[in-house]
């Protein structure tokens, strides 16, 4: 496993396992499978409604807690200092842990400054080892960085070969914020897995399209958290540390960047109305 060192010195695996859209009843089994494969970083969120499954797996897996890296996120409806503070305690309870390795603000809406103050407080109390944000576009990230006491350690944004977030990546580097990708495969949209450029490059190394995509992002200094409910696919996604893409291959994949999301835009009013209505 390779690691990145966050801006507060905490080491985070560059490859983790994400449980977005994993059914609560299936989450424990999936996380146990992932840990058995070798994953040590698990990414969940209050809005996924499966923190308890992650916590149950952590309690049963037999791996020491300090060998695992747990990420969760404060949802919009828990925004503001008081609600966020209570939700952090609830996440700790559900995850069956005295601390969370990384807590993020899930979306840049509601009183996220109040949320961040609650996270800074929990960080100082040792309940959170690192704090950061998710889905913060460069303008929102800069604004936050200018006025908080603890610079976010991570910004988790949609990032994949068709949306590489180059400009956002440079802003993150400027402020010492680690770039993390959600949806590294864009859920296979736009023919991601059958893309001829990705397939041809992967073929040269005897690797699948998925492995090639993960390797590209890792070599771009982006943390990745692919999700699968199948252990064989989990193992395939984990097997990306025995090869490196050439600079020519990296450049070829960079050429696939379309600069637009395959999912949604946080600057679209209808999207914002939808997200802020969820609980």
Distance of CA 102 to the CA centre of its chain: 10
Strand ranges, E, within the chain: 3-5, 11-13, 17-18, 41-43, 69-74, 102-105, 131-134, 154-158, 178-182, 223-224
d(CA 123, CA 129): 6
| Annotated binding-site residue? 106 | yes
- CA dihedral 11→178→277→70, nearest 10 degrees, is -10
d(CA 23, CA 59): 19
DSSP, residue by residue, 216-270: HHHHTT-EE----S-HHHHHHHH--SS----HHHHHHHHTT---S-SS--TTSHH
Q: Is 99 a catalytic residue?
A: no
Q: How far is CA 128 from CA 123, 125, 153, 160, 270, in A?
A: 4, 8, 12, 28, 33
Q: Is 185 exposed, middle or buried (0-12, 13-18, 19+ CB in 10 A)?
A: buried
d(CA 168, CA 145): 14
Q: Which of 93, 53, 91, 98 is nearest to 71 (CA)?
A: 91
Catalytic residue among 48, 112, 123, 137: 48
Residue with tokens 């590209």: 216
d(CA 182, CA 111): 23
Binding residues for substrate: 106
Catalytic residues: 48
Residue stretches of the annotated binding site: 106
């Amino acid at each position: 496993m390779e690691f990145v060192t966050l801006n507060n010195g905490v080491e985070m695996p560059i490859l983790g396992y994400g449980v977005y859209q994993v059914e609560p009843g299936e989450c424990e089994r999936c996380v146990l499978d992932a840990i058995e494969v070798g994953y040590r970083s698990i990414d969940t969120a209050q809005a996924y409604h499966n923190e308890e499954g992650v916590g149950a797996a952590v309690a049963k897996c037999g791996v020491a807690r300090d060998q695992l890296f747990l990420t969760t996120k404060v949802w919009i409806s828990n925004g503001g200092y008081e609600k966020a503070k209570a939700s952090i305690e609830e996440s700790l309870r559900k995850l069956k842990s005295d601390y969370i390795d990384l807590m993020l603000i899930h979306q840049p809406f509601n009183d996220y400054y109040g949320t961040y103050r609650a996270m800074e407080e929990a960080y100082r109390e040792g309940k959170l080892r690192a704090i950061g944000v998710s889905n913060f576009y460069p303008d929102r990230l800069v604004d936050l960085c200018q006025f908080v006491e603890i610079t976010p350690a991570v910004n988790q944004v949609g990032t994949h070969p068709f949306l590489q977030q180059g400009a956002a990546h440079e802003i993150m580097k400027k402020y010492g914020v680690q770039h993390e990708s959600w949806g590294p495969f864009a859920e296979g949209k736009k023919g991601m897995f059958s893309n001829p450029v990705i397939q041809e490059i992967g073929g040269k190394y005897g690797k699948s399209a998925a492995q090639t995509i993960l390797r590209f992002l890792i070599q771009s200094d982006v943390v990745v958290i692919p999700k699968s409910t199948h252990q064989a696919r989990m193992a395939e996604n984990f097997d990306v540390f025995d090869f490196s893409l050439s600079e020519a291959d990296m450049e070829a994949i960079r050429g696939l960047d379309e600069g637009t999301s395959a999912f949604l835009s946080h600057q679209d009013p209808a999207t914002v109305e939808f997200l802020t209505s969820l609980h």
